[in-house]
Structure formats: structure tokens, C-alpha cells
Structure 1
């Protein structure tokens, strides 16, 4: 008795090889394009507008910051309950009065959520502005000006945890 349904052995053909190659290289190309898209859409890559000008201004800015630090003025930033608060003091917790205090909030990656808050004096070297700050990491640049001169300029990286989402 002979059975006609004998199983034919598997034969690896050119179509199988083509399918494997298309799937392999298709996966690699898809991953590369996805990573390139995510990299270019989430970070502008812009640190300064003109690197040559920034390099020429560096020594002057560094000297200005050293002179500012020599004055002994210190700042402390708080972001809590929808209020941005900045304490400006001399050594010994003596309050410092400024005409204008601004806080520039910048995301480390991307710039679509960046904002500037103008802080108002609430007395004794304390400056506040009501502003909801989204949770996550921020680079905050605070500038305090008195009589047209910058008396404090600092930038800090902070993490806001548990604020509005």
C-alpha cells in the first residue's frame, strides 16, 4: 500500500532568502529612521545662536560673574504650590533689594514649554510670581537688577516633583 500524501522536504528557495533580507534590512532602516526622527524632533540642538560670538564674550562674562560672586549676594529659588519664590540675601541673611527680578525657565531638551516669569517684591528680599510649573527638569536662569546693574545672575538645574501636570 502506497500513500500519496508523503511530505515533501523543505527546500530553501530564493524567495525565502529575499523575504529574510527584506525583513532584516527593513527592520534596521525602520529603527534608524525612527531614532533619527525622535532625535531631531525632541532637541533643537541650539545651545547658543552664534558660537563664535559666544566664545569672544566668554572671558568678559566670566570676569563679571567673579565680581558678582565677590559681593556675597546669594539667591535661593523655590517652586511650590503654583508660586515661584526667590530669596535674595547677603551673607548673614541680610535681605537684598532689587528693582527687577526675572526667572527664565527652560527645558533641558526642547523649547516649546520655556517661559519667563517677572517676580514682584513681597518684602525683605523675597520675590514671587504666581505661575504653574510643569513637573520635570528645568534650567532656571534668574537675573536680579538694581539701578540698571545686574546684581545677581545665576542658572541652576532643578527638578519639580508633584506640581501640576
Structure 2
């Protein structure tokens, strides 16, 4: 039996091109679908409105910086938070209304609202359910003149 010699024809070249580009397009399609399903790219449903409101946010930050207030927060015992707010001269501000929220750093599940009461030490004490581990405290302090101070602190409970 004699062996036939292979000849490369136009059909062979066409078949190779179709297989090559078909494989590339198929793999690209699979990766694109996986990427869109895992993260669609939308971080806010109201991105345009958020952008318009950003100037107000910058104004609020500038007004807060002009106050010169500083704040510290501490996790003193399980479920108890203390906050101290001081004016630009370092004096404690004792006539504020403070509200806050404790949230887990990695998730919004299990957040707790915290209402603060003045303590006898020139600070504010708030209680939350018995919490353990790392929590982010976001609090807002308001005085009688309408000044607003917002801050966020990471707290750790054993």
C-alpha cells in the first residue's frame, strides 16, 4: 500500500482559522460571563446623584474641620463604649447630643444603634448588646448651635 502525500489546501487553512478563533471567542465569552456575574461593576444605584451631592459632603468636612473638635472612643467593657469630644482648646464638650452605630467592618449584618448619655467624667457612655471582636463605631455629635461633628473609630472587644 502506498502512502499518500499530504497537501495543505484552502479548506484546511479555513478549518484551522475557524477552530482557532472559535476557541478564543469561546474562552473570552466564558470569562466575560463569569466576570459580570461575580461583580457587575455597579457600586451605587444612584451614582449620578451621589456625584452631585459630593460638593455638599466637602462643605460639611470643611465646616467640621473649622470647628477644631477632636474625639476619642474606647471600648471599656463588653458592650460599653465611651466617647470624649474636645473643642479646639482641648476642653471637653459636655452639652452634646450623641448618637451612633456599631457595625462589623466586613459586613452590614448585625449593626447596633447606640444612644449615648453624659457620664460624670466629661464624656459620653453608650451601651450596645454584648459584642465581641472588631466593630466600627460611627457617631454624630450635635451641639445647641447646630454644629455637627461626625467620626468613625475602630473598637476592639476581647
Is residue 119 of structure 2 the alignment partner of residue 126 of structure 1? Answer: no
- Kept in 1, the 8 Å contact 2:74–2:81? The answer is yes
The offset of 1:68, in angstroms, is 0.9
Partner in structure 2 of residue 50 of structure 1: 46
The offset of 1:89, in angstroms, is 0.6
Equivalent pairs, count: 119
Give TM-score, length-normalised by structure 1. 0.60
- Kept in 1, the 8 Å contact 2:101–2:114? The answer is yes
> After TM superposition, what 4+ stretches of structure 1 lie above 6 angstroms from structure 2?
none
Q: CA RMSD in A?
A: 2.8
Pick closer, same or farther for the CA change 1:125–1:62 going to 2, 3 Å. farther
Within a 5 Å distance, the mapping from 1:72-151 to structure 2 comes to 72-82=68-78, 83-123=80-120, 125-147=122-144, 149-151=146-148
**Which stretch of structure 1 is more off in the superposition, 124-133 or 101-110?**
124-133
Pick closer, same or farther for the CA change 1:49–1:113 going to 2, 3 Å. farther
* 3-state SS in 1 of match to 2:108: coil
Q: For residues 22-75 of structure 1, what are the alpha-carbon distances to aligned partners after superposition, in whole Å with 9 as ceiling and x for unaligned?
A: xxxxxxxxxxxxxxxxx99xxxx9976633322211111111111111211111
- Kept in 1, the 8 Å contact 2:112–2:128? The answer is no
Within a 5 Å distance, the mapping from 1:28-43 to structure 2 comes to none
Pick closer, same or farther for the CA change 1:122–1:133 going to 2, 3 Å. same
2-structure distance, mates of 1:49, 1:139: 24
Give TM-score, length-normalised by structure 2. 0.63
1-structure distance, mates of 2:120, 2:60: 27
Q: For residues 90-146 of structure 1, what are the alpha-carbon distances to aligned partners after superposition, in whole Å with 9 as ceiling and x for unaligned?
A: 134301134410111112222221111010112454110232452333222110012
Pick closer, same or farther for the CA change 1:108–1:137 going to 2, 3 Å. same
Partner in structure 2 of residue 63 of structure 1: 59
